[in-house]
Structure 1
Amino acid sequence: MIDLVQNVLDQDREFIWSYIFIAVLICCAVVFTLRTRFVQFRLVREMVRLLLNPDKVQPQEIGHDELSMDVRVDGEMKHISSFQAFVVALASRIGTGNLAGVATAISIGAPGARCRRCKRAWLGSTSPFHHSTLAQLYKRKGKTSFYGGPAYYMKYGLGKGWMGILFAVLMIITFGFAYNSVQSNTICLAWQKAFGIEPATMGIVLTALTLLIIFGGIHRVAKFSSTVVPVMAVVYLLVAVGVVIWNITCLPKVLITIVENAFGFNQAAGGVLGITVIQGIKRGLLSNEAGEGTAPNAAAVATDSHPVKQGLIQALGVFTDTLVVCSCTAFIILVSGVDVTASNGIQLTQDALTHEIGSIGNPFVAVMIWLFAFSSIIGNYYYGETNVRYIKDSKLGVFVYRLAVAAMVMTGAVVSLDFAWSFADITMALLTLCNLVAIVLLSRQAVFLLQDYRQQKKDGRNPVFCKDKMPEIADKLEAW
């Protein structure tokens, strides 16, 4: 029965990715880049400035009353900063795609996927700019914080409630269930290799810890992510830099291999160029999530004076993930000189690091993948919860969803690696296609907001948005 399901998943995945998804993804990235006049290149400095030194704006400066800037409950103000929204989104981005996904692409003969990922990151970062800006524009006011995401701009921006429900269901399945099974699966494989812990035992521990965090709500999720994500990214970067410096003489050869592979010289001769390109895009999207519509769920929570601020900050997340963390894994594997066909996924990364730093490599990667993947489980959970509340905001619904997420974390611990990845690939593609349709239709609004933002910057002002600037949709903009 399991083999039959696996075969069906493989066939569906092959059809969607080979004939539909990649063409749509590339076309949208090009269109968005042209419409925004290459915003990902022109405003990089502004992205960094907003993240490191966010503008301080008083509620009255943006036409809000005191309660709408930070929602007050029982006299307590609860605020999610731009940085916290950024790291919640980054927590979901930085996961198995960075350590296991990169290794998987390399193991099938696609070291050039690293170079192709960088190019797609620069091109595809306009998608998160669009959907995070739109999520801010159409965000809603909750009891303790703002909330929103693609389902909300589909409902209020497009006037298509059914499309919002479809997206919400796909988001719950993809992130709450499929992706979390992948994260759990990878953690268990890494810890089994490093410490000999059985997957079922590790699955029980992961499930218990997941329940402990997710029953704390978004504020506990934000606090956990803002503490763990920066630390783990810096540590992993330092180790990768150390490995590259230690093998500096091998670096020119590695770079030549990546470039040759990226442009298909070797694969074209072998007839496998299409396979490596598709594999690179799959793992690249799982890693940086450009276009999926995930980051907007976190972006909508942030308190900003202008929707474009969060759009720019979230676009920067794609660079952080792809250009920094994924590159670390690729260089660790390629400079180590290990046989990339001898193992797969996270275990290849473990073999490479063990080769470079000795027996501590195995447990080090196991600990890092636990931090990377577990932070993703928490971020993924929050994305799903937002969409559960969109369908029906009930305590019972959220409670059932939390238990279902925990069950999928446990399931991921014991299923096969191929099954976990196949399930995630299919749901990822369907989710992204749904979101891309929406942001194509609403792209004009994101471009208008970008022009308004830039004009205010030119006038020497801290950009501020008021719904009166878009009177045709003013009645849909609850939070402005």
Structure 2
Amino acid sequence: MGFIDSIFNLINDLTWGWALVPFLVVLGVFFTIASGFVQFRFFKRMFGVLTGRDENADPSKISAREALLVSVGGRVGGGNIAGVAVAITAGGPGAVFWMWAIAMIGMCSALIEATVAQLYKRTEPNGDYRGGPARAITHGLGEQYRWLAVVYAICLIASFAIGFNAFQGNTVAGAALDSLAIPRIYTGIVLAIATGFIVYGGIHRIAKAADVIIPVMAIGYIGMALLIMVLNLTSLPGVLIDIVANAFGFREAVAGGMGAAIAQGLRRGLFSNEAGLGSAPNVAATAYVRHPVSQGITQSFSVFIDTILICSCTAFVILLGDVYQPGAEGVDGVVLTQQSIVGHLGEWAQYFLTAAILLFAFSSIMYNYYLGENALDFMTSNPLAIHVLRVVIICIVFLGAVAPGATVVFSFSDPMMGILAVVNLLALMMLFPVAMRLIRDFREQLAAGVEKPIFDPRKFPDLDTDPTAWPDAK
């Protein structure tokens, strides 16, 4: 066991330790500049997915809005509550600024990877769509790279479907035990039953559940943060000044100063929004859209929601309170967030946070399951394999909830996600010229007065696309 741990620790050091974060940042900056700051050019279009309806859309398909909410449910999780608190504790208020900065860059990476996933999606016999980095690698780079796609799929199952689902179950059970005194086994049973109901309903039931859970979760949490900001309105300018001053080393809040702020902000921001890691494109590919770039824009918006909205809410709740003391040790993680909320609103607020954690975690479980299902479907079409995966995930969620120390077994999640990200980034670099062709096509149609651009596979005969996935092309 010690030897296996050392192997996973080595992989983690070679990826997340020093190489992967700079790789994600540099590549995100390159994508942003090379694409002409596409995430900012299309920023106004992002908001249309929340309210706009496509009259010609097939109601049996997953809509762009549903795909957005499922991916938001996956991106928004413990990183938004506990991760932000850790970043502020270790990096000072300046870490928040660098979280914002990496989100702006990550919006472009998310747009590129979702666009590519949409381009190479395939139509299933039941009419649903499947896609993601694994299929983009095989259809975009060729069958000779299938081994790379298989590595990606295995790491996706190991990290998200198994490891992170155990952590989510553990997080919910711990919060319920601490604030409501509910024994872990009862929380585990409820979570397992709810998980089974969702995973056996497939992507459509996941999308419908996300369509209800995510807006309630996001609006409730943002509303609570706005209330706290209004109650502390006079202190808000000072907090913003602290964030900027600490970000550039004008004020030393923690040991390490500006360097600690940058390191923590970038690392926690990337962990939270997952831009460039290759997870969200699996969900992005399920949506019915007229053009691949349309879903790329939508997924770019999900990074904005995750970091600029949700993470900022947690940051302001902490920095406007008295619990956080720069440079002091002690209160950290979710406890810092919880005590800060209680300090602002009273004891009842801890129950609100428990409910928020429950919704955050359950939405992540739905998302993580689908990532695993999609990866397994890429490797085998045997229905029995999917059934086994569903049973395993139900058991994993239950095990993570009832056994406080059980999640130690799943310490391989981070190194597996590191390999996953490296594979995805390598593929994105090779497929970036293709993504730029699609972006140019989208822009040209907009310039010609087409309000909703349509992708026509016949204009790209050299690309291995599925014409049946683009019914709007006449």
Give TM-score, length-normalised by structure 1: 0.90
Cα distance in 1, alignment partners of residues 261 and 412 from structure 2: 20
1:122 to 92, 95, 104: 104
* Alpha-carbon shift at residue 110 of structure 1 (Å): 3.2
- Structure 1: which amino acid aligns with 2:138? K
Cα distance in 2, alignment partners of residues 109 and 292 from structure 1: 23
Q: Distance in 1 between matches of 2:233 and 2:56?
A: 47
CA offsets per residue over residues 225-262 of structure 1, 9 Å max, x none? 01110111011111101111111232233223322332
Taking a change above 3 Å as real, the CA distance of residues 218 and 119 of structure 1, as seen in their structure-2 partners, is same
Rounded to whole Å, the distance in 2 between the matches of 1:279 and 1:427 is 21
**Match for residue 130 of structure 2?**
147
Distance (whole Å) between structure 1 residues aligned to residue 348 and residue 176 of structure 2: 13
What is the correspondence of 1:318-397 to structure 2 with a 5 Å cutoff? 318-339=303-324, 341-397=329-385
Name 2:417's counterpart in structure 1.
Answer: 428
Deviation at 1:430, TM superposition (A): 1.8
For these two proteins, the number of residue pairs brought into alignment is 462
Q: Secondary structure at the match of 2:62?
A: coil
Equivalents in 2 of 1:264, 1:420: separation in Å? 39
Name the aligned partner's letter for residue 216 of structure 1: G
Using a 3 Å threshold, how does the CA distance of structure 1 residues 54 and 277 change in structure 2: closer, same or farther?
A: same
Show the counterpart of 2:27.
Answer: 28
The aligned counterpart of 1:176 is: 161
TM-score between both structures, scaled by the size of structure 2? 0.91
Distance 1:112 1:87, change over 3 A: same
Deviation track 1:50-93 (CA, whole Å, cap 9, x = no partner) reads 443254447xxxxxxxxxxx5xxxxxx72111111111111101
Give distance in 1, aligned partners of 2:252 and 2:425: 30
User: SS in structure 2 opposite 1:393?
Assistant: coil
Q: In the aligned structure 1, how far is the partner of 2:232 from the partner of 2:122?
A: 51
Partner Cα separation in structure 1 for residue 241 and residue 406 of structure 2? 31
Q: Report the alpha carbon displacement of residue 265 of structure 1 after superposing the two structures with TM.
A: 4.5
* TM-aligned CA deviation for residue 423 of structure 1: 4.0
Match of 1:460 in 2: 449
1:409 to 376, 397, 409: 397
2:270 aligned with 1:281? no
- For the 8 Å contact 2:91–2:254, the answer to whether it is kept is no
Query: Is the contact made by 1:186 and 1:346 (CA closer than 8 Å) also made in structure 2?
Result: no
SS at match of 2:454: coil
Tell me if structure 1 keeps the 8 A contact 2:16–2:418: yes
Question: Residue deviations 1:382-424, cap 9 Å, x none?
Answer: 1111111001012111111112222322333334599489544
Query: Counterparts of 1:67-466 in structure 2 under 5 Å?
Result: 78-144=60-126, 145-159=128-142, 160-266=145-251, 270-271=255-256, 274-339=259-324, 341-413=329-401, 414-416=403-405, 419=408, 423-461=412-450, 462-466=452-456
Name the Cα RMSD after superposition. 2.4
Which segments of 5 or more consecutive residues in structure 1 lack a partner in the other structure? 59-69, 71-76
Task: Name 1:66's counterpart in structure 2.
Answer: none
Amino acid at match of 1:384: G
Match for residue 471 of structure 1 among 442, 456, 461: 461
Distance change >3 Å, CA 269–CA 322, structure 1 → 2: closer
Cα 1:200/1:113, change in 2 over 3 Å: farther
What is the rounded CA distance, in whole Å, between the counterparts of 2:29 and 2:91 in structure 1?
27
CA shift at 1:37, angstroms?
0.6
Classify the secondary structure of the residue corresponding to 1:304.
Answer: coil
Match of 1:73? none
Shift of 1:345: 2.1
SS of the residue corresponding to residue 365 of structure 2 reads helix
**C-alpha displacement of 1:314:** 0.7
When structure 1 is superposed on structure 2, of 78-87 and 275-284 the one drifting more is: 275-284
8 Å Cα contact 1:193-1:347 kept in structure 2: no
Distance 1:404 1:270 in 2: 44
Amino acid across the alignment from 1:240: A
Note the alpha carbon deviations across 1:29-65, whole angstroms, 9 max, x for none. Answer: 011112211001111012223443254447xxxxxxx
- 5+ residue gaps in structure 2? none
Using a 3 Å threshold, how does the CA distance of structure 1 residues 422 and 213 change in structure 2: closer, same or farther?
same
Deviating more after overlay: 450-459 vs 243-252: 243-252
What secondary structure, in the 3-state scheme, does the structure 2 residue paired with 1:359 have?
A: coil
Q: 1:284 to 1:21 in 2, by over 3 A?
A: same
Aligned-pair identity in percent equals 39
State the alpha-carbon separation in 2 of the partners of residues 224 and 146 from structure 1. 19
Cα 1:293–1:19, aligned 2, differ >3 Å: closer, same or farther? same
d(CA) in 2 for partners of 1:338, 1:421: 32
State the AA in 2 paired with 1:26. Answer: V
Contact kept in structure 2, 1:6 and 1:419, CA below 8 Å: no
| Residues 271 and 107 of structure 1, relative CA distance in 2, 3 Å threshold | closer
